[in-house]
């Protein structure tokens, strides 16, 4: 096997995952007993197979020690949980993220031409003390629905700082031909401009944080619906879903006549349309609930179906990413919180989730694949080399 594939520290063939982490900056000095690429490989495998903290990672490494020694250089034996914790707490998240993005950029059709959903998520138990949750780790991720994979992630101090993180995250992505969807906190003129400058389009939710814009878009669309868009170019699309005792009907109206929004429309790069989604939820034995949500977009305002698909697609980051991390990987229950430990462990989860989603030969759920990986060394190695 080619031992140079990961910097001479791991004997893994070809350009699998670990090849792209060979230049990961080691936070330790010269007197190192354990190789960083080997520690990373063990940690990723452990997380794939169900590890929920550094104690689990060390136990997994010890139990699989004989197997790991067939392809990893472990001159100091298997690292302890304290060693894993210290190293990953000190490891610069920016360095790990650069390697993560390099790996994702080498996969298939990355982000170009896709729908990219950007949203934030807090790791709810990553605070130091129960009486002070200000240190809770908050992460902003870019999720590509077509591949169901995370393509980038940045940590922020709290949700309000997503405004600062989103432009930085956009710089990591290939936006050419893509449509970026962001909730209301990302409805900022500089973010819209950065997306357009990068060759992409956007669908941005509009709420009270853009008070003037929201009032004008809401007023125009609400009045137009009442008047059946008389004299205005427009399109509409309706979809009904049934399940779990609930009937939900969503209707989208959109129009390209943004000039009626006034001077506000000129302040947004590439703005071509505005849209509204009306959701009606009927639950047996309960009162029907109706709400409207408003959007600005670079999409064609005469194709309501495409607009509906982009808006609905945004929720894939909740259903396919955040749900999987919380339910399958138990992320919200994690108490890792020292220094960069929570951020870096969250990246290990996302690496594991991407590897499991990327491997399609086994027809099983993510939970099922994790079990098989723990039982079958060949399948685990296959995931690592995907």
Residue 2 is predicted with a pLDDT of 36
**286 in any annotated domain:** yes
Write the pLDDT tens digit of every residue in 235-253. Answer: 999 999 887 778 989 999 9
Averaged over 18-29, what is the pLDDT? 86
CB atoms within 10 A of CB 241: 10
Residue 109 is predicted with a pLDDT of 52
d(CA 253, CA 237) in angstroms, rounded, equals 7
Q: Check whether residue 196 and residue 278 sit in a common domain.
A: yes
**170 in any annotated domain:** no
Residue 122 is predicted with a pLDDT of 72
Averaged over 326-349, what is the pLDDT? 79
**119 in any annotated domain:** no
Q: Which segments within the chain are labelled E, that is strand?
A: 115-122, 138-144, 149-156, 179-182, 201-206, 235-243, 246-255, 273-283, 289-297
Half-sphere exposure of 339 (CA within 13 A, CB side): 10
Backbone angles phi, psi at 113, to 5 degrees: 80, 10
Q: Which residues contact 150 (CB under 8 A, 6 or more apart)?
A: 104, 141, 142, 143, 321, 350, 353, 354
Q: Check whether residue 292 and residue 344 sit in a common domain.
A: no
Q: Check whether residue 283 and residue 347 sit in a common domain.
A: no
**44 in any annotated domain:** yes
Of 278, 302, 326, which one is at a domain's C-terminal end?
Answer: 302
Specify the number of domains making up the chain.
Answer: 2
Element spanning 134, H or E: none
In the DSSP assignment, the letter for residue 291 is E
For residues 263, 267, 271, 276, the Cα torsion angle rounded to the nearest 10 degrees is -60
> In this structure, what token pair is assigned to residue 86?
């210290």
**269 in any annotated domain:** yes
* 145 vs 61, more confident: 61
> Predicted confidence band at 47 (pLDDT cuts at 50, 70, 90)?
very high
The closest alpha carbon to 33, from 90, 92, 61, 74, belongs to 74
Q: Check whether residue 292 and residue 358 sit in a common domain.
A: no
Q: Which residues contact 70 (CB under 8 A, 6 or more apart)?
A: none
The closest alpha carbon to 332, from 152, 171, 73, 126, belongs to 126
Q: Which residues contact 44 (CB under 8 A, 6 or more apart)?
A: 17, 348, 351, 352, 355, 384
Q: Are 39 and 91 in contact (CB under 8 A)?
A: no
Domain that holds residue 53: 3-93+339-384
381, pLDDT greater than 50: yes
Give the percent of the chain with pLDDT over 90. 48
> Predicted confidence band at 222 (pLDDT cuts at 50, 70, 90)?
very high
Q: Are 116 and 180 in contact (CB under 8 A)?
A: yes
Q: Check whether residue 275 and residue 194 sit in a common domain.
A: yes
Residue 299 is predicted with a pLDDT of 96
Residue 218 is predicted with a pLDDT of 96
Q: Check whether residue 282 and residue 362 sit in a common domain.
A: no
Write the pLDDT tens digit of every residue in 76-119. Answer: 999 999 999 999 999 998 888 888 888 887 765 554 568 898 98
Of 242, 276, 302, which one is at a domain's C-terminal end?
Answer: 302
Q: Which residues pair with 348 in a beta bridge?
A: none
CB atoms within 10 A of CB 177: 12
Q: Are 140 and 156 in contact (CB under 8 A)?
A: yes
Q: Which residues contact 29 (CB under 8 A, 6 or more apart)?
A: none
Q: Check whether residue 196 and residue 246 sit in a common domain.
A: yes
Q: Check whether residue 290 and residue 365 sit in a common domain.
A: no
- Token look-up 């409805």 returns 187
Q: Check whether residue 11 and residue 61 sit in a common domain.
A: yes
* 328 vs 192, more confident: 192
d(CA 83, CA 175) in angstroms, rounded, equals 39
Q: Check whether residue 273 and residue 351 sit in a common domain.
A: no
6, pLDDT greater than 80: no
Residue 357 is predicted with a pLDDT of 87
Residue 112 is predicted with a pLDDT of 54
Q: Check whether residue 56 and residue 9 sit in a common domain.
A: yes
**138 in any annotated domain:** no
The pairing of strands 201-206 and 179-182 is parallel
Q: Check whether residue 350 and residue 298 sit in a common domain.
A: no
Average pLDDT, the chain: 85
The pairing of strands 273-283 and 289-297 is antiparallel
**370 in any annotated domain:** yes
> Greatest CA separation found in the chain?
77
> Predicted confidence band at 21 (pLDDT cuts at 50, 70, 90)?
confident
d(CA 359, CA 149) in angstroms, rounded, equals 12
Q: Are 3 and 372 in contact (CB under 8 A)?
A: no
> Predicted confidence band at 173 (pLDDT cuts at 50, 70, 90)?
confident
Q: Angle 341-358/366-375 helices, nearest 10 degrees?
A: 90
In the DSSP assignment, the letter for residue 123 is -
Measured CA distances, 384 to 179, 351, 381 (Å): 30, 10, 5
Residue 130 is predicted with a pLDDT of 44
Of 302, 325, 358, which one is at a domain's C-terminal end?
Answer: 302
Residue 258 is predicted with a pLDDT of 95
232, pLDDT greater than 80: yes
Element spanning 302, H or E: none
**250 in any annotated domain:** yes
């Amino acid at each position: 096997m080619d031992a140079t594939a990961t910097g001479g520290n791991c004997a893994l063939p070809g350009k699998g995952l670990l090849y792209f982490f060979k230049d990961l900056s080691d936070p330790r000095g010269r007197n190192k007993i354990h190789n960083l690429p080997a520690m990373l490989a063990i940690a990723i495998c452990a997380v794939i197979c169900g590890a929920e903290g550094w104690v689990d990672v060390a136990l997994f490494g010890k139990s699989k020690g004989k197997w790991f020694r067939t392809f990893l250089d472990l001159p100091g034996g298997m690292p302890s949980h304290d060693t894993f914790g210290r190293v990953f707490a000190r490891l610069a998240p920016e360095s790990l993220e650069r390697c993560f993005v390099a790996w994702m950029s080498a996969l298939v059709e990355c982000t170009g031409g896709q729908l990219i959903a950007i949203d934030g998520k807090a790791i709810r138990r990553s605070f130091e003390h129960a009486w002070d949750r200000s240190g809770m780790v908050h992460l902003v991720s870019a999720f590509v629905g077509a591949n169901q994979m995370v393509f980038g992630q940045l940590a922020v101090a709290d949700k309000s700082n997503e405004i600062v993180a989103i432009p930085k995250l956009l710089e990591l992505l290939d936006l050419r031909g893509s449509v970026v969807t962001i909730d209301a906190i990302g409805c900022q003129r500089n973010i819209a401009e950065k997306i357009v400058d990068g060759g992409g389009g956007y669908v941005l939710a509009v709420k009270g944080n853009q008070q003037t814009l929201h009032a004008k878009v809401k007023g125009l669309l609400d009045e137009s619906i009442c008047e059946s868009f008389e004299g205005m170019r427009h399109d509409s699309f309706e979809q009904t879903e049934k399940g779990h005792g609930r009937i939900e009907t969503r209707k989208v109206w959109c129009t390209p006549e943004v000039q009626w929004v006034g001077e506000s429309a000129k302040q947004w790069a590439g703005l071509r349309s505005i849209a509204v989604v009306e959701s009606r939820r009927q639950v047996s034995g309960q009162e029907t609930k109706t709400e409207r949500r408003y959007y600005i977009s670079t999409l064609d305002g005469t194709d309501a179906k495409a607009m509906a698909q982009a808006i609905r697609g945004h929720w894939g980051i909740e259903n396919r990413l955040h749900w999987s991390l919380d339910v399958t990987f138990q992320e919200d229950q994690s108490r890792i919180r020292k220094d960069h430990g929570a951020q870096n462990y969250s990246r290990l989860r996302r690496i594991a989730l991407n590897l499991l989603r990327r491997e399609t030969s086994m027809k099983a759920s993510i939970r099922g694949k994790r079990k098989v990986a723990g039982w079958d060394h060949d399948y685990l190695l296959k995931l690592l080399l995907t």
